[in-house]
Structure formats: structure tokens, C-alpha cells
Amino acid sequence: MNQTRVHVTLRMRCTSQMPQRPTAHASVLEDYWIGPTLVSLAYGSASPHEHTNQRRSVPTRSLTLRRRRPTITHHQTSTSRALRQAPLVLIVDDSADTRELYTEYLTSRRFRVVSAADGNAGVLTALGLRPDVIVMDLAMPVLNGTKAIARLKTDPRTRRVPIIVLTGYAFRAIQEGALETGADVFLTKPCLPEELEGQVRKLFDVSRRKPTRVGF
């Protein structure tokens, strides 16, 4: 338990007419629990020995005040637990605007979101974090989306992670190629954030019901 020592000075002023109650001056009082000792000093357990017009001082006493422990409400605990259990979405896209748009929206919808700017970074991030859903662009530097999907689907650590392809290419051949490689959903840009969210939730619900067996 954290403890803070402060000095409390007790001064008594007495007059020939009526003695005044001693007053305690402390340098730190707020947000601390004050023990019975200080309460007793502050409210006159010590009485003057004689009435005089001169001030009399009692030597400074050292007291130990205990800091109150912060109170964590049930609502705060529930919110923190919900955020830790929220689905993790990985967005892989070389467009910073696209990453920012979907990251902000999905975060506001209670998802956890990470992003990568190319296919190779996306693969490394997926292997390290094991996201619940991956949103993958196709035309990217270093490693394109199709090759990135192929790597993820051949690795036992990520082969069961559902992947949404989100690309500006709407050709049927590209769509068929992406699905054959292992993508679960094919979406074309521009795509409303609400539509992407709907697909993410569907894939997450399906994958959550499936048993996960790494290495099989």
C-alpha cells in the first residue's frame, strides 16, 4: 500500500475570554484517508493549560496518511473485458486513405483493427497476431494480394483465418482467381464501410463456430 508522510502542525490560540479550538494545518489532505489520530488532534483532544493572550505552539507531529485505492466500477471492468474480446481485423492495403477510412469505422463499431501497407507486411502481421478476419487488397507493392493469400492459406497458423478481398478490379477472371486462391469473399471498391462490416461479422460468426485445429 502506498503511504505518504506529511507533517501536521497543531496551533492553539487562547484569549482571556474564550479559548478557541486548536486548528490543524496539513499540506496534503485531499484524496487521502485520514486516520483517527488526525481527527482527534483537529477537534480539541488537547486543551490549553492556561488562558493567555500569547500564542502557544505544539511541536509538529508526523502522521502517516494512507492513500485511498482507486475504485474500479463494474461498468469499467465490463468495458475493458469487452474490448479485449472484440474481433481483431487486419486491413492490408497500400492506400493510406483506405486503411484510415476502414480502421476508423470498424474501431467505432467495437472492432480491434491493425493494418499493413503491403502484402509481405500483411503476411508477417497475420502470422504474429492471428487476426479473426483479414481484409486484403490485390494490387500492392512488394507482394501482391493474390500471393499473400496463397502464403496465408498454406501456413497452418493462418490457413483457417477468413479473408475478404477488397479491390478496385472488378473483372470476373480476377474474382475467380482470388476465390480459387483461398479468399472467402470478393468485394470491389468503392465499398461502403457498412457493407464491409457486415461481411466481417458474418465471417467472424462462422469461423467462431468452427473448431480450430492448428496443424491439421
| Residues of the domain holding 131 | 74-209
Q: Give the pLDDT of residue 110.
A: 95
160-201 per-position pLDDT tens digit: 999 999 999 989 999 999 999 999 999 999 999 999 999 999
pTM check: above 0.75: no
C-alpha span between 161 and 131 (Å, rounded):
7
6-50 per-position pLDDT tens digit: 444 444 444 444 445 444 444 444 444 444 434 333 434 444 444
The answer to whether residue 63 scores a pLDDT higher than 90 is no
Q: Does residue 146 lie in a domain region? A: yes
- If asked whether residues 125 and 201 sit together in one domain, one would say yes
Closest CA to 164 of 87, 77, 73, 216: 87
- If asked whether residues 161 and 94 sit together in one domain, one would say yes
Closest CA to 185 of 83, 197, 40, 76: 197
Tally of domains within the chain? 2
- If asked whether residues 56 and 82 sit together in one domain, one would say no
The grid coordinates of residue 115 equal 493494418
Vertex 184 angle, CA 183 and 189, to 5°:
75
C-alpha span between 110 and 119 (Å, rounded):
25
Q: Does residue 35 lie in a domain region? A: yes
Sign of the CA dihedral with 90 first, then 204, 84, and 98 last: positive
Q: Does residue 214 lie in a domain region? A: no
The grid coordinates of residue 198 equal 457486415
Q: Does residue 201 lie in a domain region? A: yes
- If asked whether residues 110 and 195 sit together in one domain, one would say yes
The answer to whether residue 205 scores a pLDDT higher than 80 is yes
Helix, strand, coil percentages in the chain from 3-state DSSP, rounded to 5: 35, 20, 40
Contact 48, 14 (CB under 8 A): yes
Q: Does residue 216 lie in a domain region? A: no
- If asked whether residues 190 and 84 sit together in one domain, one would say yes
Q: Give the pLDDT of residue 171.
A: 92
Among the listed ranges 29-38, 66-75, 101-110, 117-126, which one has the minimum average pLDDT value?
29-38
Q: Which of 67, 87, 122 is the last residue of a domain?
A: 67
Reported as type and span, the H/E element at residue 187 is strand 185-188
- If asked whether residues 108 and 180 sit together in one domain, one would say yes
- If asked whether residues 114 and 90 sit together in one domain, one would say yes
Q: How far is the CA of 73 from the CAs of 32, 45, 76, 77, in angstroms?
A: 19, 38, 5, 6
- If asked whether residues 121 and 203 sit together in one domain, one would say yes
* Mean pLDDT for the stretch of residues 48-67: 49
CATH number, domain with residue 160: 3.40.50.2300
Q: Which of 19, 42, 67 is the last residue of a domain?
A: 67
Mean pLDDT, the chain, rounded, equals 75
